[in-house]
Amino acid sequence: MTSPSTQTGDVVAPMSDLQMRWWAGERLLPDPSLIVPARMRVRATIDPAAMEAAAQEVAQRHEALRTRFDRVDGTPVQIIRRVPDRPLTWFRDLRDVAPAQRGDALAELLAADRIRGFELARGPLMRLGVIRCAMRDHILALTMHHIIADGWATAIFWRELSEAYDRALKGEELTPPSKRAAPRLRDWVAARQSALERGQAARENQYWTRALRRVRPLHVPHDLPANRGGLRKPHTRRFAVPREHVNDLYACSKRFRATPFMITMAVFMKLLGRYTGRRDVAVMTLLNRRGGPLTEDLIGCIFNHATIAIVIPPDATAGSLVKEVRGALLDAYDHQQVDAHRIWRETGFMPGSVDVLFIFDQSPQERKGVAFGGVRAELYWVAEENEEERRGPTTPGLKFSLELIDDRLVGALGYDANLYSKAFIDTFLCDYITLLEEIVHDEALENGRP
């Protein structure tokens, strides 16, 4: 791969620890799981030219969308372009496809877009597809590399894209340069480096050395015979939690003084204990490092991995269980300045010791109002889909994720279809939803409510 030449006005800045690790890995073997797709459905007419102008405006505002990664003078760095690439969008019209085949054609387009991947040294590392299924039915297919964006950043992108698109439709000029300034990822990276220089790494190493000492894999039992060849067949099962449970979750969160993240994780860890017959339960999770003006509106990937380990109390009540998880999560939040991969390397921890991943994403409030041309966009996903192979030391046996959006709690369970049948996965998800209901109900009884 040839090294891109820097251009006049480009900025060269250090990478974060996570970016450095992913950049090094991608040079050896691209990881399909680092391609992040986000799809929206808009049941309205979409102007492709206005959408391209809107994408350009958002990329001009956020440095991460103009960044690529390579060596300069032998040093791995971020290379931030002065202006974004053109074009950032692509367009396909499926109206000439027979209606009966249109769904398959759409699925093939989306799959092909993801397979295309990205070249970190050349960029751009984001693209936006506009797929016309009917005159008033479009799919917006956003695809980014994880090295420049996390889930929170995706929500920021959709919000700002919708605002810029409406301005473009009205023929208004781009946002004036004086109002384009956005938080910069390089400033956040510099702040993390400053924390390391103040001795934060040594303090966090001590904490995690103690916390990770007794962590061991759960080995959730599977119902299919193990594949002797060791090949994996990753699948994802999508699901939704009934809305009445979501309302109870919000109320329970206030009474427990615990976040929905803490409560839903407590439910998941108790379920894992039941399936494995174990009281010691550990899961890998992602911690949101956002908070304050430097990160609130920052497009970038700034989460951190954390291992949450608890011992489930005998005959645990809902309150004692949530309290245990709440304490473990708060401790982890207090020790997340240093990137987890650096902690693992320096403490000798093997992340493969944790074989279950739990992700909770509470979308920013701004996602509520995402609309294009006055028509609110909808999340677009399918109930069951093949998942790109995950590799590396943090590859989990089960990947359980939840996303809380207003009064909707949608989720996904990633699993190896060579080990777990669809019937097993459906039962597991049914058990999770049932246990969530039970724990909220138990908490109500503890507080004297019927």
Q: Locate all alpha helices (DSSP H) within 199-316, ordered by sequence.
A: 200-211, 243-256, 260-276
Distance from C-alpha of 3 to C-alpha of 423, rounded to nearest angstrom: 49
Instruction: Write the DSSP symbol of residue 86.
Output: S
CA distances to 150, 176, 393 from 353, in Å: 24, 51, 9
Q: How far apart are the first and last CA of the chain?
A: 66
Residue with tokens 């204990």: 273
Distance of CA 61 to the CA centre of its chain: 22
Q: Which of 82, 36, 86 is nearest to 56 (CA)?
A: 86
Q: List CB contacts of 377: < 8 A, sequence separation 6 or more.
A: 40, 41, 42, 140, 158, 162, 370, 371
Residue 91 has pLDDT above 80, yes or no: yes
What's the number of CA atoms in the CB half-sphere (13 Å) around residue 114? 20
At residue 396, what are phi and psi to the nearest 5 degrees?
Answer: -90, 160
Q: Which of 376, 277, 419 is nearest to 42 (CA)?
A: 376
Identify the pLDDT of residue 383. Answer: 59
Max Cα–Cα distance, the chain, nearest Å? 69
Distance from C-alpha of 167 to C-alpha of 373, rounded to nearest angstrom: 10
Q: Which of 361, 429, 440, 437 is nearest to 398 (CA)?
A: 429
* Residue type present at position 434: T
Identify the pLDDT of residue 207. Answer: 93
Q: What percent of the chain has pLDDT over 90?
A: 58
How is residue 174 written in tokens?
């781009």
SS3 label, residue 25:
helix
Identify the pLDDT of residue 443. Answer: 52
pLDDT grade, residue 361 (50/70/90)?
Answer: confident
Identify the pLDDT of residue 445. Answer: 42
Identify the pLDDT of residue 109. Answer: 94
Residue 72 has pLDDT above 80, yes or no: yes
Burial class (CB in 10 A: 0-12, 13-18, 19+), 294: middle
pTM (2 decimals)? 0.86
Cβ 347 vs Cβ 209: under 8 Å? yes
How is residue 137 written in tokens?
């039915």
Q: Which of 362, 425, 354, 336 is nearest to 395 (CA)?
A: 354
Identify the pLDDT of residue 366. Answer: 47
- The 3-class secondary structure across 286-336, one letter per residue, is EECCCCCCCCCCCCCCCCEEEEEEEECCCCCCHHHHHHHHHHHHHHHHCCC
pLDDT grade, residue 26 (50/70/90)?
Answer: very high
Identify the pLDDT of residue 138. Answer: 97
The two beta strands, 126-134 and 89-93, are parallel
Q: What angle do CA 375, 376, 380 make, to 5 degrees?
A: 120
Count of beta carbons in the 10 Å neighbourhood of residue 68: 23
Is the pLDDT higher at 40 or at 443? Answer: 40
Burial class (CB in 10 A: 0-12, 13-18, 19+), 238: middle
Residue 213 has pLDDT above 50, yes or no: yes
Cβ 191 vs Cβ 302: under 8 Å? no
Residue 441 has pLDDT above 90, yes or no: no
Type and span of the H or E element at 145: strand 137-145
Distance from C-alpha of 401 to C-alpha of 414, rounded to nearest angstrom: 8
Reported as a single tens digit per residue, the pLDDT across 283-325 is 999 998 887 777 888 999 988 999 999 999 888 788 889 999 9
Residue with tokens 């058990």: 431
Distance from C-alpha of 86 to C-alpha of 123, rounded to nearest angstrom: 11
Kindly state the average pLDDT of the residues 133-147.
Answer: 96
Distance from C-alpha of 221 to C-alpha of 421, rounded to nearest angstrom: 12
Kindly state the average pLDDT of the residues 13-41.
Answer: 91
What's the number of CA atoms in the CB half-sphere (13 Å) around residue 389? 9
Q: Which of 171, 152, 172 is nearest to 62 (CA)?
A: 152
Q: What percent of the chain has pLDDT over 70?
A: 89
Is the pLDDT higher at 273 or at 294? Answer: 273
pLDDT grade, residue 140 (50/70/90)?
Answer: very high
Identify the pLDDT of residue 234. Answer: 85
Reported as a single tens digit per residue, the pLDDT across 157-204 is 999 999 999 999 998 876 654 455 678 889 888 887 877 777 778 888
State the chain's mean pLDDT as an integer.
Answer: 87
Identify the pLDDT of residue 331. Answer: 95
Kindly state the average pLDDT of the residues 90-109.
Answer: 95
At residue 189, what are phi and psi to the nearest 5 degrees?
Answer: -60, -40
* Residue type present at position 80: I
Kindly state the average pLDDT of the residues 18-40.
Answer: 90
